[in-house]
Every structure is written in C-alpha cells, then in structure tokens.
Amino acid sequence: MKINRLRIALVISVGMIMSFFSPGCAPSQPFVTPKRLDKGLILVLTGIEGRSKLNEDICWGLANSGIEQAIELVDWTVHIPGLYLINLRNETRNRRKAEEIANRIERYQAMHPSKPVFLVGHSGGGAMAVWIAETLQPGSKIEGIILLSASLSPDYLLDPALEHCKRGIVNFYSSKDWVFLGIGTAAWGTMDGEHTKSAGLVGFNVPAEPAQAGLYHKLYQIPWREEMETTGFTGTHMTSAARRFIARYVSPLIMVEKWDKPTIQAILSNNPHTVIPAAKDNASP
C-alpha cells in the first residue's frame, strides 16, 4: 500500500513540475538551416516530458556558445498531457522510435559525408541517445554521445553504443539528483525497465569483463561538482539543462577535436586553450 501511495504521489509531482516547463515560443527548429547542416548535426533528445523550455534551453546553450552545426531538438515522446510517465516504460515503442532516428542519421550522413554527428540526451533522452547509437548499421559511426542526468540503469551495457561512437560517451551525473533518478526510478523504473538508482545519479558501472574489450575506455564519467552551480546546474535533475551549464561544459566537448582524459580534464579546469570563448547573448540560425 505504501509503495502504491508513493507511486501516485510521484505521478502527481512529476505532472505538476513538468507543467512549469511548457514549450517556449521559439521557432520550431531555429538552428536547422542548410548552412548549419553543411557543417554537422547535433540531435538533442528530449526527456519524457517531450519538447519543453527545459530542452529548448539545451539548444540555446549550444547555439549561444558559438557552435555552427545544425542543432535539432528531437521529441520522441507520445503526447498525453500530464501522463509523462507513459514515455518512461514504453521500451518497445521507444526502441522502434530510436531505430527511426538512426535511419535519419544515416540518410544525413549519406548526404553530408564526413560531417560530425553528435547526440545529446537529457533524462529519458539519454537512454534514447544510447539506443539510437546501438541501432546504427554495422560500420556506421557518429562522433559521440553526451548524457545529461540519464535515466538508464547503472549496469546497462554500453558496448553496442560505444562501438558506434568515434569519440565515445560522456556521462554527466549527480548524487543530488535523488528525487527523479533515485526515488523516482526505484519506484517506476528506468527507461530500460530496472527499478533502481539511475546512471544519472551514480554513474555507469564498468563491467569487469566487457563484451568487447577496449570500448569502455571511451566512457568518460563526470560527477557534479560545486563550481557547476555558477552555471545554473545545482546538481538537480532539471538544472542539468541550464543554458550556461550547457555553454560552459557541453559545448566545448563538441568543439574540441577529440575526447580523451587530458582534453576533458582541461575542459573541466577551464583551460583557455581548450575551452570555447564566453557565450554570446543571442545566437543566430
């Protein structure tokens, strides 16, 4: 009985919170233009709430920092107002949608060979990003995946996704995200159906014997740190989409030429030779 009451309370809480993040009034895809598409493609995968100001801010944070590639906001969800949790556990439908998006990426790559493709996924969109990479055809690769507060179980095997990433996967996680990715996913499950803490809360567990040796060295895990508060990311679930956080920590990952431990450490340390210039006030398509 107590578990059922907790689940009901969580449903109500999620619905109330998400109602404050309704879609903004920006154009549908302001950063998808032929000029930008000729330079590369960044797909931003929404959380289970669908398109909202929350994930629009991710796009603006990328654009305001000077990124020149196309930035497309991808809403993969089913829209039933207030019932966002439907998108959390519909794994069959979600994986089918991931396959459709993977096919779109391959069509883009056929038209724009050698142009970089990145996936940025927030919350449930993190799981979608991983599943999209898994679904790519053998030999097909994207540049990399950036996960923000991902709703996947810590033991989820990343080998298939890592195999399709040239640079790898960066996972931003926070021990302060215990409401959504601790209590919430323990009660309702992660996107992959496990009733446990999420990798967005505690990070991914690296298997002692990965299915494919040499891939997990491309997994870079970044825990929340206090200095991130100055960019608007206080460690909580919603704030990992803050514009200034995206511009300061996520955009540099896209703008550098490679991912490795020294490069990522330089970004975290705000090395002027690695990190991009300060964000602009307004971005242009």
What integer pLDDT is reported at residue 198 of this predicted model? 98
The alpha-helical segments, DSSP class H, found in 168-259 are: 178, 185-188, 199-202, 243-245, 251-255
What integer pLDDT is reported at residue 276 of this predicted model? 41
- What does the DSSP 8-state code read for residue 250? I
Between the CA atoms of 64, 147, 43 and 54, what dihedral angle is there, to the nearest 10 degrees?
-60
Q: Which of 6-10, 75-79, 110-114, 116-120 has the lowest mean pLDDT?
A: 6-10
Q: pTM of the predicted model, to two decimals? A: 0.89
Q: Where are the domains of the chain?
A: 2-268
Q: Taking all residues of the chain, what is their mean pLDDT, rounded to a whole number? A: 89
Superfamily of structural domain 2-268: Alpha/Beta hydrolase fold, catalytic domain (3.40.50.1820)
Give the whole-number percent of the chain exceeding pLDDT 90: 79
Number of helices followed by number of strands (H, E) in the chain: 12, 6
Confidence of residue 83 (pLDDT cuts 50, 70, 90): confident
Report pLDDT digits (tens) over 216-229: 999 999 999 999 99
The C-alpha atoms of residue 41 and residue 144 are separated, in whole angstroms, by: 11
> Which of 124, 209, 211, 203 has the alpha carbon at shortest distance from 169?
203
Report pLDDT digits (tens) over 10-38: 443 444 344 444 444 445 899 999 999 99
Q: Is 223 helix (H, G, I), strand (E, B) or coil?
A: strand
What integer pLDDT is reported at residue 284 of this predicted model? 60
> Which of 105, 97, 174 has the alpha carbon at shortest distance from 145?
105
What integer pLDDT is reported at residue 208 of this predicted model? 86
